[in-house]
Amino acid sequence: MTLEIPSMRDHQHPYYYARNVSIYFDYDRQTPWTKATDLINYSMTCRSIRAMCMPPLFASIVWSASQDPDPVVTKGLSPYVRAVRILYPSHFKRDAYLAFLAQFPNVRELHVDRLGTTPFEAHSLDWAFVSCPIEVMVLTISGASTLYLPPGLALPPLREFTVIAPRRMALLSQLSVHLLRMENSALEYVLGSLRDSLEVLRVPGDAMRLSFLGAAHWPRLTRFALFGGHPFADASWSDVLSVMPVLQSFILDTAYIQPAPPVYLWPPPDVDVEGVTRRSLNIANLRGLVLSSPRPRDRVFALLPPTLIELALRDTPRYDRERTAPRGSAYDLIVRLQPDPPVYDRYLLSSRGALDIFTVLRGDALLRLELVVRADAFEMRMLVQVAETCPRLRIFEYHRYRDVPDTWEWDRRNLQPGDGVQIVSH
Give the predicted TM-score (pTM) of the model: 0.79
pLDDT of residue 10: 32
- Taking alpha carbons only, the member of 225, 161, 222, 224 closest to residue 193 is 161
What is the rounded distance in angstroms from the CA atom of residue 125 to the CA atom of residue 149?
A: 7
Question: 93-152: per-residue pLDDT in tens?
Answer: 888 888 888 888 888 888 888 776 555 444 457 777 776 688 998 888 766 566 666 666
pLDDT of residue 113: 82
pLDDT of residue 194: 92
Which segments of the chain have a pLDDT < 50?
1-30, 120-123, 275-276, 320-325, 331, 334, 408-426
Crossing angle of helices 351-360 and 379-389, in 10° steps, is 20
pLDDT of residue 4: 31
